Amino acid sequence: MSGKLCLKDVKKSFNGRVVVDVGDVTFGNHRIEGLIGPNGAGKTTMMKLITRRLKADCGVITYMRDGFDDVVVNPHEMEDMARMGLVRTNQIIHDFASLTIRESLLLSLATDHHEKFYKIFNDKQLRKETEKEIEWYLDYFYFEDPNGHALSGGEKKLLDIIRCLVLKPNFLLMDEPTAGLPEDVTIKVMELMKKKAQDENISVLIVEHDLDLIWNLCEYVHFMAEGQVMIQGTPEEIRANDIVAEKYMGAAVC
């Protein structure tokens, strides 16, 4: 297992309302884990705390990687966490309006070494270095205008995921990755994630409302509601759990 996240006594409030209140949770003990829960449970907020997009009011979030020292998230900035291999795909659609698909991926793949203000002749070299990888993705996934921009919301969402994947993260948080994606693309993404989790050194935590996907893909599932991670277990355990049924799937039952 490549990366682990440990949250202890982590709290976050907005305007006096407690949005996240997590006592003691560890993510990453299994290769692919799921995080489910009703809207407003605090899933995205918790993810933002982990990637340091937001700052927790209190508590300790620790990021552990094989071969590296444990890192306490709080004192760092979001870009530092990403550099350490902790990456989150976006729930809402985010894109660089001015960059084409390829340019977006080139941006993601470029390192400090490439990005210096005095290095303006190194584009060819960067493209050569990354050609194989970029073409693989453009081949595997369909884009209407692969030499141009991502056109639909779905394409932008997909591009967001690929951008994160080429960073070669150790721990990838996927925040509702399939919302906005057509079904065939969803299947492809999930197959790819399964393969990557197996072959490469990557831990994945997926937030999803598509429960079939979760049962199918994840070895372990966390259930979150009202800011707390209430139940954790295998997919079978979660499906059979009464509280989960009441708080989340209860709407369908009535």
Partner 1 sequence: MAGSYYFYIFSNMAIFVALATLLHLQFGRTGIVNFGVVGFFGLGMYGFGVFLIQLNIPYFIALLMAVALTGVISFLLGLVILKLDSQEVLVATLAFATIIADLVVVQKGVTKGVIGLGSVPFPIQAGLYSQHVFFIVVLIIAALLIMYAKKLEQSPYGRLLISIQDSELLSQSLGKKTFREKLIFFTITSAAMGLLGALYAANVHFLVPRLLGPGTTFTIWIALIIGGRKKVFGGLLGVLVTVGIFDFLVETYVPIPTGQAQLLPVIKMMVYGLTLLLVLMFKPSGLLGTSKKTTK
**Phi then psi for 12, rounded to 5 degrees?**
-145, 130
Measured from the CB atom, is 110 or 230 closer to partner 1? 110
Spell 218-244 as b/e; 16+ CB within 10 A means b: bebbbbbbebbbbbbeebeebeebeeb
Candidate list 18, 71, 99, 245; residue touching partner 1; CB under 8 A:
99
Cα–Cα dist 41/20, whole Å: 8
Give the side-chain half-sphere CA count within 13 A for 125: 9
For residue 148, give every residue at least 6 positions away whose Cβ sits within 8 Å of its Cβ, in sequence order, or none: 100, 101
CB of 106 to partner 1, least distance (A): 6
Q: Which CB, 205 or 229, lies closer to partner 1? A: 205
147 near partner 1, rule: CB under 8 A = no
Among 101, 106, 189, 213, interactor with partner 1 by CB under 8 A: 106
Counting contacts by CB under 8 A, is residue 97 touching partner 1? Answer: yes
Q: Of the candidates 61, 51, 85, 80, which has an alpha carbon nearest to the alpha carbon of residue 11?
A: 61
Tell me if residue 9 falls in helix, strand or coil.
strand
Q: Amino acid identity, residue 94?
A: H
CA dihedral angle for residue 70, residue 29, residue 50, residue 34, rounded to 10 degrees: 170
Q: Please, what is the minimum distance in Å from the beta carbon of residue 203 to partner 1?
A: 18
Q: Total residues at the site for partner 1 (CB under 8 A)?
A: 35
The CA-CA-CA angle for residues 153, 155, 161, to 5°, reads 105
Quote the least distance from Cβ 46 to partner 1, whole Å.
16
- Name residues contacting partner 1, limited to 167-186 (CB under 8 A): 167
Output the smallest distance, CB 165 to partner 1, in A: 12
Using CB under 8 A as the binding rule, the residues of this chain from 148 to 167 that contact partner 1 are 163-164, 167
Q: Counting contacts by CB under 8 A, is residue 228 touching partner 1?
A: no
* 77 binds partner 1 per the rule CB under 8 A: yes
Q: What are phi and psi of 115, to 5 degrees?
A: -95, 80
Site for partner 1 in 13-72 (CB under 8 A): 51, 53
Q: Closest separation between CB of residue 210 and partner 1, Å?
A: 23
Q: Which is nearer to partner 1, 82 or 179 (CB)?
A: 82
1, 18, 82, 245: residue in contact with partner 1 (rule CB under 8 A): 82
Strand duo 203-207 + 17-27: pairing: unpaired
| Binding region for partner 1 (CB under 8 A) | 51, 53, 77-79, 82-83, 87-88, 90, 94-99, 103, 106-108, 110, 112, 114-117, 119-123, 126, 163-164, 167
